[in-house]
Amino acid sequence: MIFSSLTFLLIFLPITLLLYYLVPGIRLKNAALLLCSLIFYAWGEPLYILLMLYSIFMNYVCGLLMDKHKKMRRQVLIFGIIINLFLLGFFKYAGFLSESVSGLFGSFGVAVPARNIALPIGISFYTFQALSYLIDLYRGKFPVQKSFVRFALYITMFPQLIAGPIVRYESIAKELEKRTISPAKFGQGALLLIEGLAMKVLLANQIGTMADELRAMSTSLSTVSAWLGALAYFFQIYFDFAGYSTMAIGLGLMLGFTFTKNFDHPYMSTSVTEFWRRWHISLGTWFREYVYIPLGGNRVGTLKHIRNILVVWILTGLWHGAAWNFVLWGLYYGILLLLEKFVLLRLRLPKVIGWIYTTILVLVGWVIFSGETLIQSMAILSAMFGNGTGFFDKTALYYLSTGGIILFLCAISSTPILGKLRGKLLRTTAGRTLLTLVYVGLLALAIMFLAVQNYNPFLYFRF
């Protein structure tokens, strides 16, 4: 089940909210929310819910053991990390590793049998949350969570379960025990839910058809067509991912939880470094806290600093998917960030120049990321930089004429302009009334689109 579905919006969410608000007390609300979250996950993953429950139980027990046996805390932490990474590695990377080994050494008679193992949805997200809990518990940032229901709810809470943001335990530890549930908070969350739904359904899904169609023509694209396809995916992945995160944050508020912002207008960045401070903030924070800093961060020699950045970005690429284009994508950003750190940012370029080169580099990065294979990505990049079927063709004209309006709307919506306009409208009674009508209209329009269109991709199946 996904947020942008009629089943979720018209059946699951109303029933969940009704049950949640009817039961008294935080303990029963936690139990009700845990039950609904398990149903939410089981709807799409009836078998792999057993894997998630095993992960919850194992990490819960590790936490208790770390608390009870102080002298063995380190050993228990290492055990917990190994088990978590083994589960993630087996289900996400076993096939990729076997195919890679067979491909590299097949000519020498080396072949590793590969099995197509279905990837449990959201395993990367809930595994990283469990790891952060164990590591921070070891660091003494908070006391152990002795309630199994509260711990299980932290891992399984449906708003952030399958697509983030990656929530660190310490940020919601108090809310698991005591939280404010108010009409104002509920209303703010509902507005964010509608905003995110509009981003996903009215923008990402609409521009996504153009992205998919042009990507499928990777070997027969003109230069302009290739850039249009890259631009379409550039907007699709932003509004899809940011929209889903916005819905998750809104749903959290409706339930009394405060999740941190996950996107902050990343396409306004004037450097690649700034882009990654604004894009998928929770993932960047996770890698900084649990990989980059433990490796020494920037408090080491130059060579080790370079190593640390490259390690983090190769792992970031692999986290997104088990394929060579993700490895290349991670390495691409590692190199770009090193170039900025040691060269480009020291030049103090004008902001407009920084924005232009950042946008182009991010666009290129999304082409590497989006390809079903590395060969497809390279074909599109080749067409973008002059090795296509010409500069301009009928395909480019068609997509410019049919997709021009949605591209314009995406461009405007990716800036802070609409947010500033909303802030001004909230200052007056007439403005708030108008804004209410706009949000009701967006909700109705999104539901209509979901009812009549079959195109509603879920981009996070790789995670």
How many beta carbons lie within 10 A of that of residue 189, not counting itself?
Answer: 22
Asked if the bond preceding 294 is cis, omega within 30° of 0, the reply is no
Decide: 459 and 237 in contact? Cβ < 8 Å.
Answer: yes
Please state whether 378 falls in left (phi above 0), alpha (psi between -120 and 50) or beta.
alpha
Dist CA 361 CA 348 (whole Å) = 18
Please list the helix, strand and coil fractions of the chain in percent, rounded to the nearest 5, in that order: 75, 0, 25
Sign of CA dihedral 358, 270, 294, 92: negative
| Residue among 459, 461, 456 nearest 9 (CA) | 456
320 belongs to the catalytic site? yes
Sign of CA dihedral 172, 253, 208, 10: positive
Decide: 230 and 371 in contact? Cβ < 8 Å.
Answer: no
Q: Which two tokens stand for residue 352?
A: 């407009």
Decide: 245 and 163 in contact? Cβ < 8 Å.
Answer: yes
* Catalytic site residue from 69, 265, 305, 320: 320
Please state whether 164 falls in left (phi above 0), alpha (psi between -120 and 50) or beta.
left
The size of the chain, in residues, is 463
Whose structure tokens read 């969410």?
A: 13
Q: Give the gyration radius of the chain's Cα atoms.
A: 23
Q: Just list the catalytic residues.
A: 320
